[in-house]
Amino acid sequence: MTRLVLGSASAGRLGLLRHAGVEPLVVVSDVDEDAIIERMNGDAPARVVAALATAKAQRVAELLDADIAADCIVIGCDSMLEVGGVLSGKPGTVTAARRQWQSAAGRAGQLHTGHRVLRVRDGAVAGETGRTGTTTVHFGVPAQEDLDAYLATGEPLHVAGAFTLDGLGGWFIDRIEGDPSNVIGLSLPLLRALLADLGVSVAALWAANRPRE
């Protein structure tokens, strides 16, 4: 049975996979994201998120129990928003989230999500592949009262770019160009292609990772 392992604490990614018919095992890595970002300062956004996704996937593979590592797929992802050449991750504070919104409001940004997929068999990585997906997001201009209320919910503090497409932040997104699931943090079309590269079908994952009733 090929178990699907999601190397992320993101509720958005977990919900996306559940709605897509699979219940992954969630294993969160202890990767120092800030150190990786600092080391890659000035590098292309796609390379930064790819490096973060790779580090997470590889670390999660090291943390797996033997029974899971006997036959599983590990997914590592990381998302960041680029607006005007400036790359932003999770703001963490209301002040930082407000600053990100002040920069993005009324503009278009690129949401980059790095994906790394590992095929693990008998406790070792038997294959791996990855790619970065990019979706253009057109931000609205929320009224000050609305922005204050949104920031007060806490939702934007822990998501890349200080917004969600599938949550409260969706009120303030005018449109997108590209894959919406990539904005949520995991591109389903891209994941399907990466799984195919490793010889794993969506049908096999559905059969082995059914959501709980």
Within a domain: residue 47? yes
Q: Residue 57 burial by CB count (10 A; 0-12/13-18/19+): exposed, middle or buried?
A: buried
pLDDT number for residue 213: 65
The residue range of the domain holding 101 is 3-208
Q: Is residue 78 annotated as a catalytic residue, yes or no? A: yes
Distance of CA 178 to the CA centre of its chain: 15
pLDDT number for residue 14: 96
pLDDT number for residue 41: 84
Place of tokens 């036959």: 71
pLDDT number for residue 34: 87
Within a domain: residue 74? yes
For residue 170, what are the CA distances in angstroms to 43, 137, 165, 167, 180? 30, 11, 4, 6, 11
Could you give the number of structural domains in the chain?
1
CATH number at residue 14: 3.90.950.10
Which are the contacts of 182, defined by CB distance < 8 A and separation ≥ 6?
Answer: 111, 113, 133, 134, 135, 190
Q: What angle do CA 7, 120, 14 make, to 5 degrees?
A: 25
Residues of the chain where predicted confidence (pLDDT) is lower than 50:
none
- Using CA atoms, how far apart are residues 106 and 109, in angstroms rounded to an integer? 10
| Whether the Cβ atoms of residue 117 and residue 74 lie closer than 8 Å to each other | yes
Active-site residue, selected from the candidate residues 78, 122, 148, 179: 78
- pLDDT tens, residue by residue, 89-143: 999 999 999 999 999 999 999 999 999 999 999 999 999 999 999 999 999 999 9
- Using CA atoms, how far apart are residues 14 and 209, in angstroms rounded to an integer? 13
Within a domain: residue 133? yes
Within a domain: residue 168? yes
Within a domain: residue 101? yes
Within a domain: residue 103? yes
Within a domain: residue 213? no
DSSP-assigned letter for residue 172: G
What is the value of pTM for the model shown? 0.94
Question: Closest Cα to residue 187, out of 34, 53, 94, 45?
Answer: 53
Please give the helix or strand (H or E) that residue 138 lies within, else none.
strand 124-139
Within a domain: residue 143? yes
